[in-house]
Each structure stands twice: as structure tokens, then as C-alpha cells.
Amino acid sequence: MNTQIPELTDKHSVGVASQPQLTIEPAAKEPAGFSGVLGTPGRRRQALLLLGGVGLASLFLLFHSHLQSYFAPLSSLLDSVKATYKDLVPLSWRLRVYPYREHFLEIFANPYYYLGVTAVFTLEWLFPAKKEQGVFTVGLAQDFLYYLFVSMVLVYAVGPLMGFLEGFYAKHLTFLTIQSVAAWPIAIRAVFGLVFNDLLHWTHHFLRHRIKPLWYFHMVHHSQREMNLFADVRSHFVETFFALGLVFIPLNMFSVTFANRGWLYFIPVLYFRLYHANIKTNLGPLKYILVTPQSHRIHHSLEKKHWDKNFGFIFTIWDHVFGTQYKNYDEYPDTGVYDVNFPVERSFTGVVKMFFAQLFYPFQQLLQRKS
């Protein structure tokens, strides 16, 4: 099994020189209607359809309370679904799900979120890092499927798990809480929480690259050959649980669990969409402070010189501190993983099959590792 990141070992021996060169089969080309250079009729139609779709979604979400009377059949269907959900799911579980569903809706049922998505689509159309990629690609379709799946996992699995962990902390681990930090003014705690949360995410991201079993799951995220605004949510649920387990005690110790919720998390979520997208920009002077579409493309690069670089979540602080920041801010490499066996989506009709194949692949690698 050849992967991008070698197994955890001595600091000076962790590298990629010993890995064999592999020929990566290029991603399947899109049909003529889904590719082309900037300005072609096909690209203009793509952009108009996408912008129109998210624009209509934004308007619906903004005025949904005034439109309910016009969608009575849909309301009846939703009421039936809710009734079935209440019959099947115990109240104790629903009570844990409910607050996290509200946090989720606060972000993803927010018209400003979809206006932000519209803006990212527009930037992809106007300033593509890879002009031949187009906007609406097989990779985008695959990642949108992950978006729907991850959304359900966040609400109905991660939400209750977070509730359980926080309850466990409140019952057994409150002696770890640093009370002096909890007494800080909320504005200072918010800034501290954002920066501290960023360090925690940098840490578990670094570990997912350096520890081979974790890399098998993180490889799913790195498999994207067509960077797009939903590439951020191409992730395996196992690494989601790992990240949650790593951050929940430190965030509770400093009383900044709100750093992963609500409006404080809304802007970073949009920012993840931006820097995973196919956009040619390094944000000028901000590149020294913030993760950019250029710097994160380096992180996803196929080229050996880029491996183990740019682990940043929002800020580049920790990459500069720990020496993992790549110094050239003008390179836009191809992306993906050095594993010819990884199941890669090649057609719109095959995305569902590839979704399950990609989720199963890390377990397959672990089984092969044991044998």
C-alpha cells in the first residue's frame, strides 16, 4: 500500500524520498458541457444555473415563513416524517439531538450561508486555479453527496455524542476547568477560543497525517482531484469522531466550547468553502496570516515537495511556529493521493457507488495491514 504520508517514526526520518514513483491516472474528462475555458458558453451556462439555484434557495430560506401557505402538501409530508421520527427515536435521544439540530440550522438554514456559497461559486468561475476543470464537475457532485451525509452525521451522531461527552465532563472532570479563564470578558474569551480552537484543529490534522491508521481515513479527504467549495466535507466519519474526542476536554477546560458553535463558527465554515475551492488567489498580504486557496491547494498537492506542509485550519500561525509552512505562495499543483487503488469518481452516475467504496476503503487498508 503506497500512501502520501509515511508511518509515524523519528522526526528526521519522516519523509517521502523512499516512496516509489507512481503514475496517477488522470481524472476522467468531463463532457463538453461541463468543461472549457473561462468565458465559453458552457461555463456561462454552468455559472448561471448554479448561481440561480443557490439564489433561489437563499430567497426561499429568507422568506420561508411567508411561503408556508403555498406549500401545504410539502408541510404535510414534513409533518408525517416528523411524526415517524418521534415514534421511532426515544425521547432521551431526541433531547440530545435537538440542541445540535438547532446549532446546525443556525448555520446551514441561514440565507447568508447560501449567499456566501454563491460568492465562492462566482470566484471559481471568474478566477479558476485550473481553468480546464470547470465549475460543475463530477468531483463537486461527489462532495455534495458527502455534504448531505456529513450533515446528518453531525446532527444525529456527533450531536448526541457531544452532549454525552460534555455531560461526562460536567459530572466527572470539572476539576480540570481553569476558572480564571472562564471569568474573562466574553469578547476576550471569543478571540482566545478561536485561536485555541485553531491550535487544536492543527494538532489533530497533523496527527491524522503522521499516524498511518488515521491517515487511511484522512486519505478520503485528500483524494479529491478537482478542488471545489464542498471538498472540505469530503471526510470520513471515523476521523470526525477522532477530532471530537481530541478537542472536547481542552475546550471544556478553558470554557470555550462555543468556539465550535453558532455565529463564531459560521464565518469559519464559509471560509473553509473558500479555501477548498478552485480559486487562483493567495489573498495578497493576508497569506502570511490566513490559510488561502493557494496554500491549502499546496497541502492537497501530489508533488512530494509539498507533502507535510500547510496544516492550518484558519490561521497559519502554527505552521510558521512548527516549521510546516510552505514558503512559495504562487504554486497551484494538481491534487489527490498517491494510491492507484483508491476508488475515484469518474462519472456522475457513479457517485453513489464511489461514495460507499471510499468510506469502506480505509477499513480495507486496516485489514490488509493486519494480515
pLDDT per position as a tens digit, 83-140: 776 777 677 666 666 666 666 666 667 778 888 888 998 899 889 999 888 888 889 9
CB 275 within 8 A of CB 292: yes
CA torsion 90→91→96→102, rounded to 10°? 110
Q: Please tell me the predicted confidence (pLDDT) of residue 363.
A: 94
Judged against a pLDDT cut of 50, whether residue 19 lies above it is answered with no
Tell me the pLDDT band of 300, cut-offs 50, 70 and 90. Answer: very high
Q: Please tell me the predicted confidence (pLDDT) of residue 332.
A: 96
Q: Which residues pair with 315 in a beta bridge?
A: 290
Minimal CA–CA distance to 322: which of 304, 305, 307, 309?
Answer: 309
Q: What letter does residue 290 receive in the DSSP assignment?
A: B
**What is the residue-averaged pLDDT of the chain?**
79
Q: Can you tell me the distance from the alpha carbon of 226 to that of 27, in angstroms, rounded to the nearest whole number? A: 9
Percent of the chain with pLDDT over 70: 70
CB 255 within 8 A of CB 193: no
Q: Can you tell me the distance from the alpha carbon of 154 to that of 159, in angstroms, rounded to the nearest whole number? A: 6
Q: Which residues pair with 301 in a beta bridge?
A: 335
* Mean pLDDT to the nearest integer, 12-40: 38
Burial (CB count <10 Å: 0-12, 13-18, 19+), residue 79: exposed
Q: Which amino acid appears at position 212 of this protein? A: K
Judged against a pLDDT cut of 60, whether residue 61 lies above it is answered with no
**Whats the size of the chain, residue-wise?**
371
Minimal CA–CA distance to 352: which of 149, 186, 64, 207?
Answer: 149
Q: Can you tell me the distance from the alpha carbon of 111 to that of 8, in angstroms, rounded to the nearest whole number? A: 43
Tell me the pLDDT band of 29, cut-offs 50, 70 and 90. Answer: very low
Half-sphere CA count of 106, side-chain side, radius 13 A: 14
Q: Can you tell me the distance from the alpha carbon of 21 to that of 177, in angstroms, rounded to the nearest whole number? A: 49
Judged against a pLDDT cut of 90, whether residue 24 lies above it is answered with no
Q: Which of 58-72, 176-190, 276-290 has the highest mean pLDDT?
A: 276-290
Task: Compute how many other C-beta atoms are within 10 angstroms of the C-beta atom of residue 195.
Answer: 15
Task: Compute how many other C-beta atoms are within 10 angstroms of the C-beta atom of residue 370.
Answer: 5
pLDDT per position as a tens digit, 96-106: 666 666 666 66
Task: Compute how many other C-beta atoms are within 10 angstroms of the C-beta atom of residue 166.
Answer: 14
Burial (CB count <10 Å: 0-12, 13-18, 19+), residue 63: exposed
Minimal CA–CA distance to 318: which of 293, 340, 289?
Answer: 289
